[in-house]
Amino acid sequence: MARPADDDQTTGTRPDPSRRSALLTLAGAAVAAAGGAWWWRSAASASEGSQDAIATPSEPLPRGRAPVSLFYTSAYVGAAHAFETTRKAAWVAQSLIEAPIPGLQLTTHDALTADEVLAVHAPAYVEAVRTGEPRDLAQSQGFPWDAALWPMVVASNGGAVAAARAALATGGIAGALASGLHHARRDHGAGFCTFNGLVIAALQALAGKAKRVLILDFDAHCGGGTHSLLGEHPAVRIVDVAVDGFDAYLPLGANTLDRVTSADAYLPTISRRLAALDGDRFDLCLYNAGMDPHEGCPVGGLAGIDAAVLGERERMVFDWARQRKLPLAFVLAGGYLGPTLAQDELVALHRLTLAAAAQPPR
């Protein structure tokens, strides 16, 4: 029997729902108009530091401990339309060049091929993203199409696949500076997500040696796209903890969706869901590590969820995976600028994920 989303927590203060909905669902100029000047960044300023550089740990690692591979290429920020989903990977990469995190190695990877994308997405939709026609379909994720969109999304989605392969190969942790994945459906985009790299990575892992895959989705918003593509897959388990009802769905089988509406319930809900997995065996965990639950985020943020809460969430997740010797591949997922969340603060939030990934077990 399907389990409904838990929605019985005390409601916290949220950004204006009409504005949040507009930012998530409108395309092109309408999105820009809804966002305001603080939301959008020029392509020139946002792409600074987007070179394919390698960050070297600032201090040696203990003998026998390999660095965590973090995948990124400058194609992740190639699209002309400049906002967080198309630019923040470069901001985070530049921060790692300027202030490396010990135990983390930034590295490049190959983009997905069209055939790899077609294994999940409908041919007409894939062709629309590649060519821009029909334009409504090409822009169904919510921002304007240009010729660099295709190389951008096959690169960033390829990062999710590269991280999954690396985690499986090493039996450890790997990640990618990718975002814009979990709302995408088979035949269209949604919520700033063009293709669903989480699904592509899961199915490629299952086509290899993996027998069961766990998807942890802790973005602020519900992962309705992932559910639509894998919700009935017998070898996939989805654990979704959201703080915003956008893209909500009715989970199937053992899958779960919790919509937390009180900051006090956020970490306990995640702890409870992780503990409930202890009796299950998985070969790979894919982790959608959104920072948009942060109270300063205008698209999904919940009052009372601050950097300390999100830092503890990341330590919980990575410690849980390490203690079970479960290979884990993570992506950045959501996180957006606002009047009370500046670019450097957003980068610092995403670095919480990277720092927890690079640390040895507690």
Low-confidence ranges of the chain (pLDDT < 70): 1-64, 361-362
- Compute the C-alpha angle 54/57/63, nearest 5°: 125
pLDDT at 47: 34
pLDDT at 360: 79
pLDDT at 40: 27
Could you give the angle at which helices 266-275 and 307-323 cross, rounded to 10 degrees?
Answer: 10
pLDDT at 62: 59
Residue spans per domain, the chain = 17-358
DSSP 95: H
pLDDT at 10: 30
- Alpha-carbon gap, residue 106 to 76, rounded angstroms: 14
Region of 255 please: left (phi>0), alpha (psi -120 to 50) or beta: beta
Q: What is the reported pTM?
A: 0.86
Residue 52: CB partners within 8 Å, gap ≥ 6?
72, 73, 74, 108
Look up residue 167 and give its two tokens. 């985690």
For 17-358, which CATH class?
alpha beta
pLDDT at 64: 57
- Alpha-carbon gap, residue 354 to 348, rounded angstroms: 10
| CB contact at 8 A, 88 and 291 | no
| CB contact at 8 A, 217 and 226 | yes
Nearest CA to 94 among 360, 346, 318? Answer: 346
Count other Cβ atoms within 10 Å, centred on residue 45.
10
The CA-atom distances, in angstroms, between 193 and each of 66, 180, 231, 240, 301 are: 32, 4, 18, 17, 19
Residues belonging to the chain:
362
